[in-house]
């Protein structure tokens, strides 16, 4: 499981012209699932994201009570080493990825996090105002 976490002053996701998720200062998380990922990665990823110390003053969402906007993104496993067209063969298919993404969101909420989401598999427009900018890659 792989995530790109960006510290933001605000972020939102729109589907079909309607805002379906938005946050103020916190983390925008683009979350990808690898074809070999299992439920074992869920708790690890949720803990890492919730406790990632990249907010102001080197605080985490857990410490600051900051929200997360989690959006599924299979393209994080795109392979561009050959040719000009990415290969998506490492990314999990929707039937495998969707429950794992949902499980990470549920695990974050169980930890007390405020979590907004996109819509799995939808054509989403994501807007963010990066803070810093400060963006890191998180793997579980």
Per annotation, catalytic residue among 73, 117, 120, 134: 73
> How confident is the model at residue 61, as a pLDDT?
98
- Res 38: pLDDT: 96
**Given 9, 74, 120, 135, which residue is catalytic?**
74
**Alpha-carbon gap, residue 39 to 81, rounded angstroms:** 29
pLDDT at residue 33 in the model: 98
Q: pTM for the whole thing?
A: 0.96
Using DSSP bridges, classify how beta strands 2-15 and 18-23 pair: parallel, antiparallel or unpaired: antiparallel
**Among 75, 96, 117, 135, the one annotated catalytic:** 75
pLDDT of 71 reads 98
pLDDT, tens only, 79-108 = 999 989 999 999 999 999 999 999 999 999
**80 assigned to active site:** no
Collapsed DSSP state (helix, strand, coil) of residue 101: helix
Catalytic residue list contains 73: yes
- Listed as ranges, residues in the chain with pLDDT below 70 are none
pLDDT number for residue 92: 97
Task: Identify the residue whose tokens are 């993104």.
Answer: 73
**Known active-site residue 120:** no
């Amino acid at each position: 499981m792989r995530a790109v976490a960006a510290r933001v002053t605000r972020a939102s996701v729109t589907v079909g012209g309607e805002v379906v998720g938005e946050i103020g200062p916190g983390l925008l998380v683009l979350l990808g699932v690898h074809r070999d990922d299992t439920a074992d990665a869920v708790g690890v990823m949720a803990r890492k994201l919730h406790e990632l110390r990249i907010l102001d003053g080197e605080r985490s969402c857990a410490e600051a009570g900051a929200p997360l906007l989690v959006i599924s993104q299979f393209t994080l496993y795109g392979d561009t080493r050959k040719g000009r067209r990415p290969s998506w063969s490492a990314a999990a298919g929707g039937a495998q990825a969707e429950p794992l993404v949902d499980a990470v969101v549920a695990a974050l909420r169980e930890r007390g996090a405020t979590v907004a989401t996109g819509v799995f598999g939808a054509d989403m427009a994501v807007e963010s105002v990066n803070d810093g900018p400060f963006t890191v890659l998180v793997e579980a």
